[in-house]
Amino acid sequence: MQKGQKISVVCIGAGPAGLTAAYILGKNNVKVTVLEKNPVYVGGISRTEIYKGFAFDIGGHRFFSKSQEIETLWKELLGEALLLRSRKSRILYKRKFFDYPLRAGNALRQLGIIETLRCIISYIHVRLYPNRNPQNFQDWVTNHFGKRLYTIFFRSYTEKVWGVPCTQISADWAAQRIKGLSLSKAIWNALWFKKQKQNSKNVIKTLIGSFHYPRRGPGMLWEKTKDRIKQQGNEVLLGMNVVEINLLKDKTWQIITEDPTQKRHEFFADHVISSMPIRELGEILKPTLPKVAKIAAASLQYRDFLTVALITKGKSLFDDNWIYIHDPSVQVGRIQNFKSWSPEMVPDLAYNCYGLEYFCFETDKIWSMPNDELIHMAINEMTQIGLIVPSDVVDGVVIRQPKAYPVYDDHYDTNVKTLQNVLENDYAGLHLVGRNGMHKYNNQDHAMMTAILTVKNILAGYQKYDVWTVNEDAEYHEEDKITSSKDI
């Protein structure tokens, strides 16, 4: 092993959090090295994979943020390449398409008058006889919208995403995620002809009718950020799997990586910004974590994800950006139509590229199924739900994404807090950022904001900002401490 160069900051992971941190540090003339285990791509879960000229995301990535600071950064890095796209998305349930966001006429037509009446009666019933002590997701949603709307619009998709019955998902989770306007409330509003004002503060962000998107996918942003970091004189090293993180006696850090040939490299830094999953961090951190923190880290759970990208030739049968598949007879949870996200996602407009999303655990059979079987299954399912003609398929490819979602089980919050306390007290100079890095189920803008505030803390030399208070809209809420984060 060669003695590495002394540097100030090492960022673990070249996803949105790690690259944003490095870019902002570079702007402030700090020496930084980004270590990324993926040998090919930067961008982490927000990367864009390329296959024979077809580009696709790990799930379509909308660019939308309530934080002006993040929007400005996206523009700064992408300029004209950041397109404004209008959104078209629908729900497929029992071979019927429901516009999403819902529209009154369409919802009525698709549900039919009988089913609409059933939904209303079931809603009135639950208002009259609510469950006074909702214990789980099913109880909570049924309480708010009635059993029929729960069954049509929540159960199947939620169970596909999380892989457990809705009775095993906490009621807190439902309360947290289904806030403000929900799908069912949207139906309810639609049926009662309430007008939803797009882009008003009352409309939740999943319903916003347009979004920004880089013309060659989110990976384009992260490739450009990588280039800027290099122009700043810093390094983004790919194929560098961090296998040890050691706090040395002089309070600096030693980081050891393994490259794809198993060769080990070492780096030294005053600060480490980590966006790798906390559970893995807990295994490689030295001095070894106290037992309680080690158990807390090891207890964190993740949901994995795989995409089967199908390439077809000829006219597409739909032009949605994506379709939610609420039909329980197929395993696919959502289907992306990448040409609708941006025409530049396909090399030739005569072709289409669909991303079929399967939510799973690494231990599930589907995860280790051979790729040709997965492609075969994807073709069958797309055909069964009427979205392709099988003879149009010309190619397919499978992408697996472990730890796509941090799981919010009953103990995750306590586990994360236990770890956070230990790290803040005993491992000064180690900063957790991002999605799996903080075990927060959030978007790119949130990951970026945690990185920006962490850099500000490092530059300030003390914990000026509490990064854990960044909310899921990437807003920093600790007004008594500081109100603006635009001082660098």
Name the site residues for ligand FAD (rule: CB under 6 A).
12-18, 35-38, 44-46, 58-62, 240-242, 275-276, 280, 305, 404-405, 434-437, 442-445, 447
Nearer to ligand FAD, 158 or 442 (CB): 442
- Smallest gap from Cβ 147 to ligand FAD, in A, equals 29
Strand locations in 261-301, DSSP E? 264-269, 271-274, 285-286
| Residues across the chain | 488
Q: Given the complex with ligand FAD, which of 56 and 93 has the nearer CB atom?
A: 56
Q: Looking up tokens 């995301």, which residue turns up?
A: 57
154 vs 211, beta carbon nearer ligand FAD: 211
In the bound state with ligand FAD, the residue whose beta carbon lies nearer, of 151 and 274, is 274
CA distance 124 to 180: 20
Tokens of 217: 């996918």
**H-helix segments, 151-193:** 156-162, 171-177, 183-191
Place of tokens 């803008």: 445
The residues, any chain, with a CB within 8 Å of residue 26's CB and separated by 6 or more, are: 32, 228, 229, 232, 233, 234
What is the side-by-side strand order in the sheet with 430-432? 235-237, 32-35, 9-12, 271-274, 430-432
Q: Indicate the SS3 state at residue 351.
A: strand
Q: Number of C-alpha atoms within 13 angstroms, CB side, residue 144?
A: 23
User: Residue 39 and residue 17: Cα distance in Å, rounded?
Assistant: 18
CB of 372 to ligand FAD, least distance (A): 23
Smallest gap from Cβ 41 to ligand FAD, in A, equals 8
Q: Where are the beta strands (DSSP E) in 287-412?
A: 302-313, 322-325, 334-337, 351-360, 393-406
CB 42 within 8 A of CB 236: yes
With contact defined as beta carbons under 8 Å apart, do 135 and 73 qualify?
no
Residue 134 sits at φ, ψ, to 5 deg, of -65, 125
Helix (H) or strand (E) holding 480: none
Residue pointed to by tokens 């993040």: 70
Min CB(143)–ligand FAD separation in Å = 28
Taking the complex as a whole, the smallest distance from the CB of residue 257 to ligand FAD amounts, in Å, to 7
Q: What are phi and psi of 107, to 5 degrees?
A: -65, -45
| CB closer to ligand FAD, 190 vs 474 | 474
Q: How far is the CB of 277 from ligand FAD (least distance, A)?
A: 6
Q: Give the phi and the psi of residue 72 in degrees, each rounded to 5.
A: -65, -40
Q: Which is nearer to ligand FAD, 13 or 26 (CB)?
A: 13
Q: How far is the CB of 185 from ligand FAD (least distance, A)?
A: 22
147 or 435, CB closer to ligand FAD? 435
| 89 or 143: CB nearest ligand FAD | 89
Give me the least distance between CB of 280 and ligand FAD, in Å please: 6
How far apart are the C-alpha atoms of 103 and 316, rounded to whole Å? 24
Q: Give the chain's count of helices (H) and strands (E).
A: 16, 20
Per-position DSSP letters for 94-121, written without gaps between them:
TTEEEEES--HHHHHHHHHHHHHHHHHH
Which CB atom, from 35 or from 382, has the smaller least distance to ligand FAD? 35
Q: Are 440 and 415 in contact (CB under 8 A)?
A: no
CB nearer to ligand FAD: give 276 or 300: 276
d(CA 60, CA 322): 8
61/147 with CB nearer ligand FAD: 61
Q: Is residue 257 within a helix (H) or strand (E), and if so which, with residue range?
A: strand 253-258
Of the two residues 122 and 274, which places its CB atom closer to ligand FAD in the complex? 274
Q: Which of 378, 266, 400 is nearest to 332 (CA)?
A: 378
Q: 69 or 115: whose CB is closer to ligand FAD?
A: 69
- Report in angstroms how near the CB of residue 144 gets to ligand FAD at its nearest: 25
End-to-end Cα distance, the chain:
38
